[in-house]
Amino acid sequence: MYAFTPDGATLLFVDCFSLTRVILPGKVKNDRKVTGSSGAHVSVSSDGAQALSWQDAFNRVILWELPALKASRRLDRFAHSKAWLHWKGGALVKHGVDALEIVDLATDASESFSLAGGE
């Protein structure tokens, strides 16, 4: 899966080979330790300063500094399934069967929101 930074100048994508950053036009950087499959994805904060990669095989979440593509935090494996970076940055959004959970990355405090309706 892929994501563009808000200014459109940087493309991030994760595939079975690596996490790749492409700064348009023409600058490419790979992190071959991060791989995925059809279920892996990346997300980018609205200011383009942070990205998050989620690897489906191990539910591995890594927070990245952009544009350097430097890992700033690696979360415990299997602790977060289907995670995205909150559009404001600084928080993790997790999608469960019937709820969304927002986890503050600075404090690890979390808040859940039911998707079941009627409550």
Q: Is the Cβ–Cβ distance between 52 and 63 less than 8 Å?
A: yes
Question: What CATH number does residue 106 fall under?
Answer: 2.130.10.10
28/77 Cα distance (integer angstroms): 27
Note the pLDDT of residue 111.
Answer: 92
pLDDT of residue 30: 66
pTM: 0.71
Name the CA dihedral angle for 8, 55, 36, 24, rounded to a multiple of 10 degrees: 10
Specify the pLDDT at position 35: 57
Residue numbers of the domain that contains 27: 2-114
Cα→Cα distances 18→2, 6, 38, 61, 96, Å: 12, 22, 13, 14, 26
In a domain, 102, yes or no: yes
The pLDDT tens digits of the residues spanning 15-35 come to 777 777 778 777 777 665 555
- Please, are residues 36 and 55 in contact by the beta-carbon 8 Å criterion? yes
Q: What is the number of structural domains in the chain? A: 1
Q: Is residue 119 part of a domain?
A: no
